[in-house]
């Protein structure tokens, strides 16, 4: 796809989701309410530390019996807002199916640069693989997903050369980028860049759509139909960039009807939604060794 010519005005139209969804506070309140209910019901292990920086912690939700696999979720917020506690609503449908769910926190811009956040998420995966079993998780299979900035971080895990981190291959089986940011070039012109501090070359180095995939694993791409044209373009760009990482049978990004940037992620709280079924399909395919470790 051809990238548009960016101006500060066009980038604000395309990437300022709060302006695009005027009632976004309603949906953030919904996240909080559903997350509080999930934490009260499931009593996760809170704030397990995976690294040395202040926010390198995760919450681990466990089913009553040994998990059938582990789902890792990375929250969004333009790498500068929100918290894992706001996204516990993703856990109940998967815990009900026997899977562990790990919700990651990470340090936020401008306290750390975006490249440091990528390294933190890598450390989180390494911790889950090495230490997670001691806390009740399993890593066969391990599926990683993220929303918005979390979709970017998920995709960057696929772009990581895991052999340089001591692995023979990527230590996860599949992933999902929901409403992800995959080409960061426009954000150089964004008002958010006061915190992100991206330069053009840094943005390119941190754009998974312009990097090779090092993970031999499927990456599902999804986006809300009512999101801005730029977020829909970003999803198609990522889908086109890595044809060898497309899940079996997926011929394009999953476009979810009547959902915008703030309510599309709530689809993961619905056991019967198409998005939840995609996640369960990735987990089940990995369990059947369709996507080998």
pLDDT tens digits, one per residue of 100-116: 999 999 999 999 999 99
Give which of 237, 79, 104, 215 is closest to 160, Cα–Cα: 215
| pLDDT number for residue 6 | 86
Query: In whole numbers, what is the pLDDT of the chain averaged over residues?
Result: 96
pLDDT tens digits, one per residue of 168-210: 999 999 999 999 999 999 999 999 999 999 999 999 999 999 9
Q: Per-residue pLDDT for 131 more than 80?
A: yes
Radius of gyration of the chain (CA): 17
Give which of 131, 199, 118, 120 is closest to 159, Cα–Cα: 118
Separation in Å, CA 186 to CA 8, 170, 189, 211, 268: 9, 29, 6, 17, 28
pLDDT tens digits, one per residue of 235-257: 999 999 999 999 999 999 999 99
Using 50, 70 and 90 to split pLDDT, how confident is the model at 287? Answer: confident
Q: Which residues of 160-184 are buried (b: 16+ CB within 10 A; e: fewer)?
A: bebeeeeeeebbbbbbbbbbbbbbb
How many residues can be counted in the chain? 293
pLDDT tens digits, one per residue of 12-58: 999 999 999 999 999 999 999 999 999 999 999 999 999 999 999 99
Q: Per-residue pLDDT for 3 more than 60?
A: no
User: What's the chain look like in SS3?
Assistant: CCCCCCCHHHHHHHHCHHHHCCCHHHHHHHHHHHHHHHHHHHCCEEEEECCCCCCCEEEEECCCCCCCCEEEEECCCCCCCCCHHHHHHHHHHHHHCCCEEEEECCCCCCCCCHHHHHHHHHHHHHHHHHHHHHHCCCCCCEEEEEECHHHHHHHHHHCCCHHHHCCCCCCCCEEEEECCCCCCHHHHHCCCHHHHCCCHHHHHHCCHHHCCCCCCCCEEEEEECCCCHHHHHHHHHHHHHCHHHCCCCCCCCEEECCCCCCCCHHHHHCCCCHHHHHHHHHHHHHHCCCCCC
Domains and CATH numbers, the chain: 8-286 (3.40.50.1820)
Tokens of 231: 């977020």
Give which of 248, 222, 246 is closest to 235, Cα–Cα: 222
Using 50, 70 and 90 to split pLDDT, how confident is the model at 2? Answer: low
Q: Is the dihedral of CA 38, 89, 193, 122 positive or negative?
A: positive
């Amino acid at each position: 796809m051809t990238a548009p010519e960016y101006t500060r005005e066009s980038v604000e139209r395309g990437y300022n989701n709060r302006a695009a969804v005027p009632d976004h506070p309603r949906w953030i309140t919904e996240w909080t309410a559903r997350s509080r209910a999930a934490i009260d019901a499931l009593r996760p292990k809170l704030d397990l530390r995976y690294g040395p920086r202040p926010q390198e912690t995760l919450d681990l939700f466990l089913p009553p019996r040994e998990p059938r696999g582990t789902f890792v979720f990375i929250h969004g917020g333009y790498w500068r807002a929100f918290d894992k506690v706001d996204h516990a609503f993703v856990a109940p449908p998967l815990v009900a199916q026997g899977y562990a769910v790990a919700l990651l926190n990470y340090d936020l811009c401008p306290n750390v640069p975006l490249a440091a956040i990528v390294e933190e998420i890598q450390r989180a995966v390494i911790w889950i693989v090495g230490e997670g079993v001691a806390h009740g998780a399993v890593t066969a299979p391990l599926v990683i997903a993220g929303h918005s900035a979390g979709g970017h971080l998920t995709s960057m895990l696929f772009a990581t050369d895991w052999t340089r981190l001591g692995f023979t291959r990527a230590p996860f089986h599949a992933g999902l980028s929901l409403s992800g940011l995959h080409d960061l070039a426009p954000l150089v012109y964004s008002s958010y860049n006061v915190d992100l501090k991206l330069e053009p070359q840094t943005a390119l180095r941190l754009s998974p759509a312009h990097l090779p995939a090092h993970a031999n694993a499927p990456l599902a791409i999804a986006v809300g139909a009512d999101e801005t044209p730029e977020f829909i373009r970003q999803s198609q760009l990522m889908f086109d960039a890595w044809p060898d990482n497309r899940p079996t049978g997926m011929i394009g990004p999953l476009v979810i009807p009547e959902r915008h940037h703030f309510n599309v992620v709530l689809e993961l709280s619905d056991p019967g939604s198409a998005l939840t079924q995609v996640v369960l399909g990735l987990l089940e395919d990995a369990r059947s060794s369709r996507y080998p470790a």
